[in-house]
Amino acid sequence: MDTITSEETPAERVAHVVLDYYRQTDGFAGAVTSLERTDWYMALPQAGKDELQQLPPAQWIDLPAFKRYLLEKRGLSMHRYVALHLTPAQLTHWVDDGDGSVRVA
């Protein structure tokens, strides 16, 4: 994990925590099943499926949405992770910056 300095802005801290969350998938490539790929693909809207036609399924592991799917499927909630690693003010920044689906309770 990155070393965090006291001069880090809330946006930088949020970015570091989110990247650390996604880094938990490092090494997953060989452990991803064809069923996981299929389930994720089938849940996508048609526009997402059309975009993926250009990318081999083995490379989906590089996509943040697929990484999050894999982590959540394994019980590693992004909401829980960021809530544990951010201050309340930083968590508010994360929510205000686009993850309005967060459940803080």
pLDDT digits (tens, 9 = 90+) for 35-53: 999 999 999 999 999 999 9
The pLDDT of residue 6 is 64
Question: Which of 63, 32, 28, 67 has the alpha carbon at shortest distance from 49?
Answer: 63
Q: Cα–Cα distance between 63 and 50 in angstroms, integer?
A: 15
Mean pLDDT for the chain overall? 85
* pLDDT over threshold 60, residue 65: yes
| Local structure of residue 57 (DSSP, 8 states) | G
Question: What average pLDDT does the segment 81-101 reach?
Answer: 82
* pLDDT over threshold 70, residue 17: yes
Report residue 83 as tokens.
């809530």
The gap from C-alpha 17 to its chain's centroid, in whole angstroms, comes to: 10
List the domain boundaries for the chain: 10-96
* pLDDT over threshold 70, residue 90: yes
The pLDDT of residue 105 is 27
* pLDDT over threshold 60, residue 102: no
The answer to whether the CB of 48 falls within 8 A of the CB of 60 is: no
Question: Which of 64, 58, 55 has the alpha carbon at shortest distance from 19?
Answer: 64
